[in-house]
Structure 1
């Protein structure tokens, strides 16, 4: 049974990570075109999807790097090295710099430069450095240089969202989502390298998004903005499940920012960070928690009315991490109780007890929505990264 691990202990959380990795390995490895496969049926067999997206590739690299860090298994080390080679030889734009968004069967199918994708290479590169994977240091140096020199917008102290291949023009759209993931990557870069610039960067991004931008929405995190960083309530109207630029107030992002602020507080004891983390968590719980069927609803409109009552795997993972970290920093048993409730719900409803890994979406009544368990770019990065973070900071005392 893949859903009976003890979520209170490091050993249990590490067991869950290994069981999740086992769903993807070894079939994730593409020995023909390089990189990783990104589509998996319910039993872990591959779908016919052959596209390789920058985000899915990054998440697999992260997962296998963590797998090697935890287990020392040579197979995971080789899997991570396989991913770094793919980024350096295939996905990197040797002429213009940066990394392509998508490839298929060895050819580039989308050559734009997506900040969200580069943010995830940043995250994966840091994990690979921590695990001492060959080539990781070079990948980290390159991706950080691209982010700072090409995407960073000094006037806003945030990052632009998308560029053409040769960087000649940028999308006028701005979004909080890619900035959130750069913030997370910077925290892990600080932990891994000890370089203060990364922590300063993470704190700055967090302040801009959770205070300055949120002031346009009565303290909630809205997703989409125009080129002047003014809230845009029409962009992607109704498209709550857009992978990178979702419409609405996304419940999971209130919790994810709560997690990040608490994580920052661990390193920089500024009471304002913790207070804002608790505020966002409470907003998330009050508006999105489903007391009847369990779990967390997905999205609200600008009037704070629920418009998507689906339940997403990544939202659950981020809420669990926020609950665990907040309990650790505040001692408030409410967060521990939420952690207990949500992990029991996840084990019962989200994790496939036979084959492992999490279902991507459940309905409001907890029915499985999809026929494919893991389409691109899912890869179960969120459950693995959340479990790893919880184990790192909470361990045996939850």
Structure 2
């Protein structure tokens, strides 16, 4: 059985002696040839912050290690502001910055030295460089000098922007006027993406857009297994958006009824269309617009988000059928994905259950699995960190 403490011990192996966290392989060893990647450093900092907030001792040093790496390490652009995608890519992406905001929020909530300062800096960059108030959405990617903005717009970065904004608002507290603004921004994004594009398309959420926010349904058709921008309907993101709508609902005064209705609709579509869509148990990574599998590989994070969304719906509605789904899917994950050698989960499997590497190699990410292990039995708040407080 997957155990949070053993998962955290595995994740701790990602610590790099010179700062930051690295990409872990299947053997639990850091892959030094990959250098540092901001999304991994930020996610690991967030995970260790959650561990500290859960009452576990001994994780404060790793939270501080992550905060220091993000505040003054090679990924941070001290002259022009913001964070590079990695030590080998100087692009500045909304996806990365959303996770830096999340790391800063969790570190600040945990009381880590420098956590509040990291959060303040990351929020400043998010608001000035990425948030487009006219659209109610975030733009995608700049060059290193903030002079060229990509024409591409994406739902994935906005999804994590919602998560980060809600977490930052919780960390700041209601006495800070930024908290209310961040929650309004998160709600606007959920309304645009879920209540707009997803609902209009019978719960088939487009992921890719032009600079004017026109959907690009054929984007990456020639690279359908892309790890961050796959072609078609991404099943796991539909579960994730459903859960985030419920987190937004939890911190919205007099929340509109569509938040719960849309979360339920999006969840139900992902569950009914995704599970065993190719005749094998589990959720394919992506579906086409005709609901047929495009990339049939099973990703650990998709199953984690399905379980987390079911757990959250069960907590909000009291409907035991969601809890039964969560238990069923979790049992599938324990049987198929769990790696007894590491305490983590394999990140990618074939439909038949063999370890695969078409999109992901190794086991770099403790974020999805740690959160799904921490959610059960806790109140639904704006963020996971707030639920642990």
TM-score under structure 1 length normalisation: 0.88
Residue 10 of structure 1: aligned partner: none
Question: Which of 262, 268, 275 is the matching residue for 1:276?
Answer: 262
Superposition map of 1:164-183 within 5 A = 164-183=143-162
- Is 1:87 aligned to residue 70 of structure 2? yes
Residue 353 of structure 1: aligned partner: 340
Shift, 1:62, TM fit? 0.9
1:273-312 deviation line (CA, Å, top 9, x unaligned): 0000000011101110128643212211233321111111
Question: Which of 95, 106, 130 is the matching residue for 1:116?
Answer: 95
Question: Which of 37, 44, 49 is the matching residue for 1:60?
Answer: 44
**Given that residues 38 and 374 in structure 1 are in contact (C-alpha distance below 8 angstroms), is that contact kept between their aligned partners in structure 2?**
no
Give the SS at the match of 2:351. Answer: coil
Q: Which has the higher contact order (CA 8 A, sep 6+)?
A: 1
**Given that residues 21 and 66 in structure 2 are in contact (C-alpha distance below 8 angstroms), is that contact kept between their aligned partners in structure 1?**
yes
Between the aligned partners of 1:65 and 1:280, the Cα distance in structure 2 is 30
Give the SS at the match of 2:375. Answer: helix
Mean Cα displacement is larger for which, 325-334 or 115-124?
325-334
Between the aligned partners of 2:169 and 2:133, the Cα distance in structure 1 is 21
Between the aligned partners of 2:14 and 2:296, the Cα distance in structure 1 is 31
Give the 3 Å change call, closer, same or farther, for CA 225–323 of structure 1 in structure 2.
same
Residue 176 of structure 2: aligned partner: none
- Is 1:40 aligned to residue 25 of structure 2? yes
Residue 275 of structure 2: aligned partner: 289
- Is 1:245 aligned to residue 224 of structure 2? no
Superposition map of 1:122-161 within 5 A = 122-161=101-140
Between the aligned partners of 1:255 and 1:372, the Cα distance in structure 2 is 20
Give the 3 Å change call, closer, same or farther, for CA 329–24 of structure 1 in structure 2.
closer
Residue 383 of structure 2: aligned partner: none
Shift, 1:325, TM fit? 0.9
**Given that residues 46 and 102 in structure 2 are in contact (C-alpha distance below 8 angstroms), is that contact kept between their aligned partners in structure 1?**
yes
**Given that residues 233 and 286 in structure 2 are in contact (C-alpha distance below 8 angstroms), is that contact kept between their aligned partners in structure 1?**
yes
Shift, 1:120, TM fit? 0.7
- Is 1:322 aligned to residue 309 of structure 2? yes
- Name structure 1 gaps, 5 residues minimum: 6-15, 104-108
User: How many residue pairs are counted as aligned between the two chains?
Assistant: 372
Shift, 1:264, TM fit? 2.1
Question: Which of 186, 195, 200 is the matching residue for 2:184?
Answer: 200
**Given that residues 47 and 370 in structure 2 are in contact (C-alpha distance below 8 angstroms), is that contact kept between their aligned partners in structure 1?**
yes
Between the aligned partners of 1:317 and 1:295, the Cα distance in structure 2 is 11
Give the 3 Å change call, closer, same or farther, for CA 371–68 of structure 1 in structure 2.
farther
Between the aligned partners of 1:392 and 1:198, the Cα distance in structure 2 is 23
Give the SS at the match of 1:156. Answer: coil
Between the aligned partners of 1:95 and 1:275, the Cα distance in structure 2 is 46
Residue 387 of structure 2: aligned partner: none
- Name structure 2 gaps, 5 residues minimum: 174-178, 381-389
**Given that residues 198 and 266 in structure 2 are in contact (C-alpha distance below 8 angstroms), is that contact kept between their aligned partners in structure 1?**
no
**Given that residues 41 and 371 in structure 1 are in contact (C-alpha distance below 8 angstroms), is that contact kept between their aligned partners in structure 2?**
no
Give the SS at the match of 2:70. Answer: helix
Question: Which of 359, 370, 376 is the matching residue for 1:390?
Answer: 376
Residue 12 of structure 1: aligned partner: none
TM-score under structure 2 length normalisation: 0.90
Shift, 1:390, TM fit? 3.1
Give the 3 Å change call, closer, same or farther, for CA 265–371 of structure 1 in structure 2.
closer
Give the 3 Å change call, closer, same or farther, for CA 237–122 of structure 1 in structure 2.
same
Report the aligned-residue RMSD: 2.2
